[in-house]
Structure 1
Amino acid sequence: MSDWTVTQSPAAGRRPRALSPLREHLRDTFWFAPLAAMVAVFVVWLAAQALDTAIVEALQKDGDYETLDELLRFADDAKAVVSAVASAMMTFIGVVFSISLVAVQMASGQFTPRVVRLFVRSRITKATFAIFLATFVLSLLVLTSFDTAEDARAVTTVPLVQSVLTLCMVALSLLLFVLYVNTTLRLMRISYVIARIAAESFRVTASMPVSADGPDTPDLGTATAWVPHEGRAGVLRDVHITRLVRTARKHGVTLRLIPRIGDFVVPGTPLLAVHGGAAPPRRALRYTISVGVERTYHQDLGFGLRQLSDIALRALSPAINDPTTAVQALDRVVQFLAALSRRPLDAALHRDRGGVVRLVQPVPGWTELVDLGFTEVRGCAVGSPQVSRRMLAGLDDLLLLAPPERSEPLMRHRELLHQAVDRAEQFPSDRAFALHPDRQGIG
């Protein structure tokens, strides 16, 4: 039996669910959605232009020049509207960009620099920028479609469909602008930021294999080979589980990831331990490991707790002195730990379609998660009864939810908090007040 706890997929014979690091990385970028929107609107414009040309040709073929004259008069009015739209959209884009910069600056300074990721990953922000840029590009393209001919018999196209499409894009832009302002104002409120962090953390938990203990837990034995990290140094953001499982199955081995997701790796350090055979060739492991400059939510179980702890620490700093925000962060810390209180941790087992373990991925253990959520905040909670009372209430709730074998780190933090408050508070009444559990801090 190996010395780590393992988990397995819901069905041993089921192929591991494909996780897409590329999709997650694109969500962390800001260029993809606007670029895709501009390419898409160019394709739509080509189709609309072809439709306008077909309409003009059909009217000329039928000899309906009276309708063509009306369309030409409509085109003169539409050209003025489209020109106004083209100039106004650049102003709109500047306003949205300015609002985003102010929101990001405020969030980074008041909460933690790591919450900037929430603004980058915001779908409504990306959609707003994408539609604004697409509307601007479309208006420029439509302006090139206006025919200078004044005779209905010589005209080649009248941008009727294109003008209507531009007006629809303007209406969509206005709607998105209202939604964007509402979303940005919500993201500037710490309650919603903390809730978003918690939601992202629970998505990581949901993507992990369902835990199961059983006699089929494998004993991997001694590693037969090692695969070092090659490439740039950085934070291990995620691994492509499906490719690693497929590679291990093809070569008849089991791979064990040495660093955890979120660890900083440097070239030459062991990255994968191979059990049961020789190491797969490097080309087979290409594009299975992603290294970046910062941690991401994808596959990183402790990243949410890290951000919640940072927010609480920033709130308790002398410069901000906002214990209520620290209490709100502790609410989510307790919620997250409660969800994991009875779930086997320490490692996740990923099996191939035959039910054979092919990849062992380390994840934080219970003690590490409890320490991450409470240690630093506990050190700053002394002198803030609101925080100490909330932390004690949270620890008591977790002691009720967690199995007895997981109570040690909770009891340790509870005792350390008692000792710190006893040393800091001079009067017994103050000590009794600060050590009275309260889920609202000072409700």
Structure 2
Amino acid sequence: MLSLTRVRESFWFLPAVFGLVAIVLAEALVTVDRTLPTSLTEGLPLLGALSASGGRSLLSGIGTSMLTVAGTSFSITISVLATTSSTYGPRLVRNFMADRANQFVLATFTSTFLYCIVVMRTVHTEVDDTSAFVPVIAVHVAVLLSVFDVGVLVFFIHHIAGSVQITSLQARVLDDLRAVAALVYPTSPSDDVDQEARAGLASDGSVPADGAVVRADADGYVQTVAWEALRRVALRAGLVVEVVAMPGRYVIVGDPLVVTSASPGSDTARELRRTVTLGTARTPHQDVAFALQQLVEIAVRGLASGSNDPYTAVSALDMSAGVLVPLWRRGEPVTALLGDDGTPVVLVSWPSVDELVDSLFDTVRTYALDQPAVLAAALRLIARLDDAAGPARTGRLAEHETAVRGALAS
């Protein structure tokens, strides 16, 4: 699963796809030019006669210009990545690399260059060949592409100027947090597992202690788990699987990934291991703690002595309420994936909402002791959570409120 996500977030994927499309389009239009009579193409609207030297010059100029603009756009993007890494944290660079607009701009310019190169090689004069050939339709399409690319360039300038604003970066991070929160914390309590459905499990709801362990064969962070694939493997093998290495955990070779209710065959163990994707860094796709950490990191960076921007932290706390308040009201995370008969098949252990809220306020108190505006924003967030909290959580919020008010008074 993550392999596809990682590819889609890379700078090369969209340019590669657009490049292949450009080559196919160029070959197709050249074939059309060869098939249609010259008299017919000259009679089409907006298509004038072109000499071979004129067609080559036009294609060469467009292609060279687009490659130059692509290099400039890429340089600007790299500069923005460097600024973001130093100002807001290196872990937020992924947000710019995953920005589909930046990928689209680079893909558009490079694919136009490839299109022009492919078309230009088919232009022949009588000196080159027995008869001259100029793909008139293909050349005029290159002109249309260049006009479109000018619009893309204007869009890129506008987009890159907006994307470096802290509010835009926070909004993207918040979208990641909202997406993973919808996965981890269901809107319906029926997604959880009742006690009757836990037949065959240990008294604490886990896989019995005599279960088999499937261990990691590489080092890295657990980035994602292919949950549906894992559920299918468990159903097919008649197993109950407990995921002990949840997304965000770092494992080394030999660490347990999952525990099964019975010993799986070698093929089944390999399939189970394949559902867990490891990588060199944490990602917010299924790691809800890391998704929240990114938003908190922006706040902490704003409080650094070099930045001294408490209002970045204030906006981060205010925006986090849009996700944390519904989660606080909703309750606990999913604990299992069920089979067709309603019994648990895959057991999971996501962090509780209480743990997320604790980490947020602990960090705020640590770094915002001398920032009254940030502490006041923390109190506003506590008040919002208190309005949505049940009786069981009021005490925990009271502890945080007491600690924040103590920091504010000191």
- The TM-score normalised by the length of structure 1 is 0.83
Question: Judging changes above 3 Å, is the alpha-carbon distance between structure 1 residues 421 and 301 closer, same or farther for their aligned structure 2 residues?
Answer: same
Q: Distance in 1 between matches of 2:326 and 2:151?
A: 38
Q: 2:264 aligns with which of 266, 276, 279?
A: 279
Partner of 2:249: 263
Q: 1:236 to 1:76 in 2, by over 3 A?
A: same
What does 1:205-216 correspond to in 2, within 5 Å? 205-208=181-184, 209=186, 210-212=188-190, 214-216=194-196
Give the fraction of aligned pairs with identical amino acids, expressed as a percent: 27
Counterpart pick for 1:333 among 309, 320, 325: 320
AA at the equivalent of 1:170: S
- Alignment partner, residue 205 of structure 2: none
Q: How does 1:165-184 map to 2 (within 5 A)?
A: 165-184=141-160
With over 3 angstroms needed to count, the CA separation of the structure-2 counterparts of 1:27 and 1:207, relative to structure 1, is: farther
Q: Alignment length, in residue pairs? A: 396
After superposition, residues 369-388 of structure 1 pair within 5 angstroms as 369-388=356-375
| Residue 171 of structure 2, aligned match among 175, 178, 195 | 195
Match of 1:130 among 87, 93, 107: 107
Q: Which of residues 347, 367, 382 in structure 2 aligns to 1:360?
A: 347
Cα displacement (A) at 1:261: 0.8
Q: Which amino acid aligns with 2:263?
A: A
Q: CA offsets per residue over residues 355-395 of structure 1, 9 Å max, x none?
A: 33221222111221012222111112211110111111110
| Partner-residue secondary structure (3-state), 1:291 | strand
Higher relative contact order (CA 8 A, sep 6+): 1
CA contact (8 A) 1:75 1:159 kept: no
1:236 counterpart SS class: strand
Counterpart in the other structure of 1:47: 28
Q: Flag the 1:161–1:227 CA change in 2: closer, same or farther, 3 A.
A: farther
The question of whether the paired residues in 2 share the 8 Å contact of 1:223 and 1:274 is answered with no
Structure 2 gap ranges (5+): 203-207
Moved more, 170-179 or 322-331: 170-179
Deviations 1:189-215 (A, max 9, x none): 101111111112111223345432545
* 2:5 paired with 1:27: no
- Other structure's SS at 2:288 match: coil
Counterpart Cα distance in 1 of 2:20 and 2:132? 25
Tell me: CA distance 1:159–1:64, structure 2 relative to 1, closer, same or farther (3 Å): closer
Q: SS at 1:181's partner residue?
A: helix
Residue in 2 aligned with 1:345? 332
Which residue identity does 1:417 align to in structure 2?
Answer: V
Runs of 4 or more, structure 1, over 6 Å off, are 63-68
Please show how residues 82-161 of structure 1 align to structure 2 within 5 Å. Answer: 82-149=59-126, 154-155=130-131, 157-161=133-137
Could you tell me how far apart the structure 2 residues matched to 1:156 and 1:148 are? 4
Counterpart of 1:410 in structure 2 is 397
2:198 matches 1:218:
yes
Give distance in 2, aligned partners of 1:124 and 1:65: 36
CA distance in 2, matches of 1:64, 1:269: 70
Shift of 1:250: 0.8
> Does residue 142 of structure 2 align to residue 162 of structure 1?
no
Verify the 8 A CA contact 1:204 1:301 in the aligned structure 2.
yes
Report the Cα distance in structure 2 between the residues aligned to 1:66 and 1:341, rounded to whole angstroms: 69
- Equivalent in 40, 50, 54 of residue 77 of structure 1: 54
Q: Is the 8 A contact 2:364 2:375 kept in 1?
A: no
**Structure 1: segments with no counterpart, 5+ residues:** 1-19, 425-443
1:2-43: CA deviation from partner (whole Å, max 9, x where unpaired): xxxxxxxxxxxxxxxxxx434322233221111111112111
Does the 8 Å contact 1:370/1:409 carry over to 2? no
Shift of 1:115: 1.4
Structure 2 contact 336–346 (Cα < 8 Å) conserved: yes
Q: Which residue of 2 aligns with 1:227?
A: 213
Letter paired with 1:26: V
Distance 1:77 1:353, change over 3 A: farther
Task: Quote how far apart the aligned CAs of 1:80 are.
Answer: 1.7
Determine whether 1:246 maps to 2:232: yes
Change (3 A) 1:286 1:304: closer
Amino acid at match of 2:26: W
By how many angstroms is 1:175 displaced? Answer: 1.9
| CA contact 1:366–1:406 (8 Å) conserved in 2 | no
Cα pair 2:55 2:123 within 8 Å, conserved? no
CA offset at residue 285 of structure 1? Answer: 2.2
Contact 1:315 1:326 in 2 (8 A): yes
User: What amino acid is aligned across from residue 67 of structure 2 in structure 1?
Assistant: M
1:397 aligns with 2:401: no
TM-score (norm 2): 0.89
Q: 1:216 deviation in Å?
A: 4.2
C-alpha distance in 2 between matches for 1:384 and 1:108? 24
How far 1:298 moved relative to its partner? Answer: 1.4
